[in-house]
Amino acid sequence: MEEGSRIKEEIWIEKYRPTSLDDVVGQEEIVKRLKSYVRSRNVPHLLFSGPPGVGKTAAAISMVRELFGDDWRANFIELNASDERGIDVVRHKVKDFARTAPLGGAEFKVIFLDEADALTNDAQSALRRTMERYSSICRFVLSCNYSSKIIEPIQSRCAVYRFRSLSDGAVTERMKKIAKDEGVQVTEGGMNAIVYVARGDMRKAINALQAASLMEESVTEETIYQITATARPEQIKELIEAAISGKFTQARSLLDELLLVQGLSGEDVIIQIHRQMLSLMDSDDLPASTVVKLMDRIGEIDFRMTEGANERIQLEALLAYFALAGSVEK
């Protein structure tokens, strides 16, 4: 590759991790409130919940950097609760850090517990008392995917912020900036494919862009779908339409293409069928009543596969149900 478009060896996720709250995209309201905490230097305990790759960790670390400046590491500790789930981590690591005085004239220290929903109930109960006892010199920031897995006493002690999936525009804007900085050419179709694959997850989008850029100088949609083991939306649409029109054999052949040739898992296929059904509903290609019936069956098949049923049999059963529903509609 040419000098200007040489791919550096860094992992781009780390390289382009936000270092200030202004760099956190797609969460404007939350960023605005966090900035008010920084200005007032009065931070409550915080609970960030939301899907992966939307900026929860980035927002927490950026807030701490702006609070403490260059000495932020001295008054900050990050623990991944999924690695250390038990009560001992709360009794020792968390408690030992929380009880020490802040350094460098800081008003308080910050403990960031990533993936806090992985903590056991006993650990969360112990954490509740620690948060209360050391609140004068320590603040807790908890990050989780599902706030319902955090016990109510902890939720009541925190200001809860719910991060939403990033918009397509926010993902596109950041991907264009990274591609420009790295000298990577991305076609319009390639950018659309990145947005489709990411589904609001910036981490997934950056990974897809970097992996694709290592294969070709120009990132196209074909490269993105190949790298991420994702079927084209048109393929899924063709599969659904063939099944609903009663062409079960053709639909089964298309399913074989996805499972055997492209190597997709049954879970990948069912998720993409679900996404495509929503777009079919929006486009009025199918009556709403039919879409509702099909969506109900998609949920049933997904549950069966999660419980360990044979993926191939379940997906073929779904296509058969689509064919039956299509014949009734006709």
Last residue within a domain, chosen from 210, 227, 244: 227
Number of domains present in the structure of the chain? 3
DSSP state of 103: S
Give residue 217's pLDDT.
80
* SS3 call for 83: coil
- Residues paired with 219 in a beta bridge: 186
- Residues of the chain falling short of pLDDT 50: 1-8
pTM of the model: 0.81
Give residue 1's pLDDT.
41
The backbone torsions φ and ψ at residue 247, rounded to the nearest 5 degrees and listed phi first, read -90, 70
Q: Range of 221's domain?
A: 172-227
| pLDDT tens by residue, 211-260 | 998 888 889 999 999 888 889 999 999 999 999 999 999 999 999 999 99
Flag whether 4 is in a domain.
no
Pairing of β 138-144 and β 46-49: parallel
Beta strand segments in 21-175, E: 46-49, 76-80, 109-114, 138-144, 159-162
Flag whether 3 is in a domain.
no
Based on the fold, state whether residues 244 and 221 are members of the same structural domain: no
Give residue 31's pLDDT.
92
The CATH number of residue 184's host domain is: 1.10.8.60
Based on the fold, state whether residues 46 and 145 are members of the same structural domain: yes
Largest CA distance in the chain: 75
| pLDDT tens by residue, 211-221 | 998 888 889 99
The CATH number of residue 79's host domain is: 3.40.50.300
Q: Which residue has the tokens 């179709």?
A: 189
Give residue 104's pLDDT.
78
Give residue 143's pLDDT.
93
CB 53 within 8 A of CB 202: yes
Flag whether 207 is in a domain.
yes
